[in-house]
Structure 1
Amino acid sequence: MIIHIFIINPIAGLKDRSESIRVFLEKKEKMQYLVFDTEENNGEVELVTKMQRLFSDDNVRYYICGGSGTFFNSLSSIDDLSKVEIAHFPCGATNDFIKIFGKSRKYFYNLDNLVRGDSVPLDYLHGTDCKSAIFISAGLTARIENVVGKMKFLLGLSSVFTYSLAFIFTFLFNPCYEYLVEIDGEDYSGEYGMIYMGNAIVIGGQYCPFPKASQTDGLMEIMLLKKINNMRLLKFIQYFKHGEMDKMQDSVIYRKAKKISFARKDGKEILLNCDGDMITRSKFECEVRNKEMNFVVPRGAELLNQ
């Protein structure tokens, strides 16, 4: 029998869903479940860690009830994703990962439908002390997310407006750094304004840089943004948003790959944006774990790109 563990972030999004989720679960008499609210920032980390110790020999399905950040922290706290099932009940501002299901993502918002769903093996990004379902980046998008974090009070009004405003602030200061980069054993060291590793389709609620990205092919989308002037950067953002990176071939290096490692040549820490959460590392390695995340898909939902 599966033990269903619900971890709710009550401050995710515009509305606290903890009460409605509990009301739903009380009607599931034959379902073996536990339900917890996160009591502090990143509280899901402690909860998932404890649940792993308590149910190390059981079949467990985690329901992460929150946004992209809550989902990222929960993934990163699970030792071996291939041994559990994980579901995302979207309660956040953007909920970007489920957009890989296109319009059929609407089925994720029906909790009864989600509980009845089956798990499907999908890829994820296994980074240095973290696990990401959507994307990881250094440089431009990391700085934008860092600014967004200081304007969280605006996310409830409009995530699109907040991210657009954050870009304006970031646009005026977009430094490039010398990186030591290796992709699948090949040297790509150079001066870059952004290093992007993608698994999903949409990031930041509205940006869709690689609309044909697959979550089952064992490869990630890697893009290195070369040093460009501000006018060119404005065009880049538009192409990045609408998945038209082919129009920036002279300014970016694009690869589909299994593994990347990089560090700043000056040895300083790297600020990284991981599914909307910020971390720092002195050196970062990332590889695709092919079909090792057992992701729960509600009935009716279908991947856009197989």
Structure 2
Amino acid sequence: MVLLHHVFIVNPTAGKGRAIEMIEKIHSRFKKLTDSYEIKVTKAAGHAVDLAKEASTRYCDVRIYAVGGDGTLNEVVNGMANNNAELGIIPCGSGNDAVRSLYQITDPVKLLEVLPLSPSSLIDLGKLNDRYFINIASIGFDAEVVLKTQYFKRFPFISGPMAYILGVFAALVLLKKYKLKMTIMNHGKIEKNVLLTIFANGSYYGGGMKPAPRAKTNDGLLDFCLVDATSRLGILKFFSTFRKGEHEGLDVVTILQGTRLLVESDQPFPINIDGEVSTETRAAIDLFPASLKVIIPAL
């Protein structure tokens, strides 16, 4: 029997303290196991990338756990990409969207109990420019929403889903449209004004919203959701169906699948990658099938 080494990367600010509370539970869990383990606490944004990279290159048989929110998970994924390490997710953030597409259970305490002894499975991994993503990347209105949502999350009495709803309404005040030139493999070129575009490996984001209801993390395809620019009233109507994953039949929505897409624009556009926002004028999106080992809970 191969003994594994387990590395827990904990974001102490995630989930308003929920992640840091897991440290004692990790110690307690491994008193019952013979495998070795260590706990690393991040000290700044980006630190989880370095910690995951160090662990994945230092150990041969290693499992690396992201203990935090979707941002922490994205950093861990970028640190361990292209290595043979196995990823475990202990969701302690406010949204925890990536885990919804991968696990049937999302309670961090229950996952800590089962993940160390569970098998792993290969899933696909997306990449936008030089950054990998396990769940969803997007351009446009929802990236603006993420910025506003992050502001509302600072208030302890506002939940993750409520912060997202407030972020939507705040972004409506300064509504923008984005003129994008898109080249999609096997679908040709599309040039249009859009509200947002979504590149989905998983199904959920925004605290449980379902922008890509048919997306699967192991089907070798990304789901592209292109939403035409529309009025404020049109956006409100759109989001009433978008939240539930019932938007695919709307006139303003185009759904495609593929493995490669290039987006260009004369004006900078906001990009959201697993909850982290940046600004670009060019975005190359690629899918790498069956390229990341993820521990799947044995129920």
TM-score by length of 2: 0.91
Identity of aligned residues (%): 22
Please tell me the residue identity of whatever aligns with 2:68.
G
Instruction: Give the SS at the match of 2:149.
Output: helix
Root mean square deviation, CA, Å: 2.1
Distance 2:214 2:108 in 1: 22
- In the TM superposition, what is the alpha-carbon distance from 1:155 to its structure 2 partner? 6.2
Please tell me the residue identity of whatever aligns with 2:100.
K
Provide closer, same or farther for how the CA distance between residues 205 and 277 of structure 1 changes in structure 2, counting only shifts above 3 A. Answer: same
C-alpha contact (below 8 Å) 2:51/2:79 kept by paired residues: no
Provide closer, same or farther for how the CA distance between residues 76 and 20 of structure 1 changes in structure 2, counting only shifts above 3 A. Answer: same
Instruction: Give the SS at the match of 1:244.
Output: coil
Structure 2 equivalent of residue 161 of structure 1: 162
The answer to whether 1:283 aligns with 2:290 is: no
Structure 2 equivalent of residue 143 of structure 1: 144
C-alpha contact (below 8 Å) 2:91/2:108 kept by paired residues: no
Please tell me the residue identity of whatever aligns with 2:86.
E
Distance 1:12 1:161 in 2: 17
- In the TM superposition, what is the alpha-carbon distance from 1:131 to its structure 2 partner? 1.1
C-alpha contact (below 8 Å) 1:60/1:85 kept by paired residues: yes
Structure 2 equivalent of residue 134 of structure 1: 135
Instruction: Give the SS at the match of 2:15.
Output: coil
Structure 1 equivalent of residue 272 of structure 2: 273
Matches within 5 A, 1:172-251: 172-185=173-186, 186-248=188-250, 250-251=251-252
Distance 1:86 1:102 in 2: 13
C-alpha contact (below 8 Å) 1:107/1:299 kept by paired residues: no
Cα deviations across residues 15-53 of structure 1 (Å, max 9, x unaligned)? 222532442255145212221111223321221233344
Aligned length: 294
TM-score by length of 1: 0.89
Please tell me the residue identity of whatever aligns with 2:261.
I
Distance 1:209 1:251 in 2: 14
Structure 1 equivalent of residue 58 of structure 2: 54
The answer to whether 1:39 aligns with 2:49 is: no
- In the TM superposition, what is the alpha-carbon distance from 1:117 to its structure 2 partner? 0.9
Matches within 5 A, 1:101-116: 101=102, 103-106=104-107, 109-116=110-117
The answer to whether 1:3 aligns with 2:43 is: no
List alignment gaps of at least 5 residues for structure 1.
301-306
The answer to whether 1:24 aligns with 2:28 is: yes
Cα deviations across residues 54-83 of structure 1 (Å, max 9, x unaligned)? 33xx122111111111001111222405x2
- In the TM superposition, what is the alpha-carbon distance from 1:164 to its structure 2 partner? 0.9
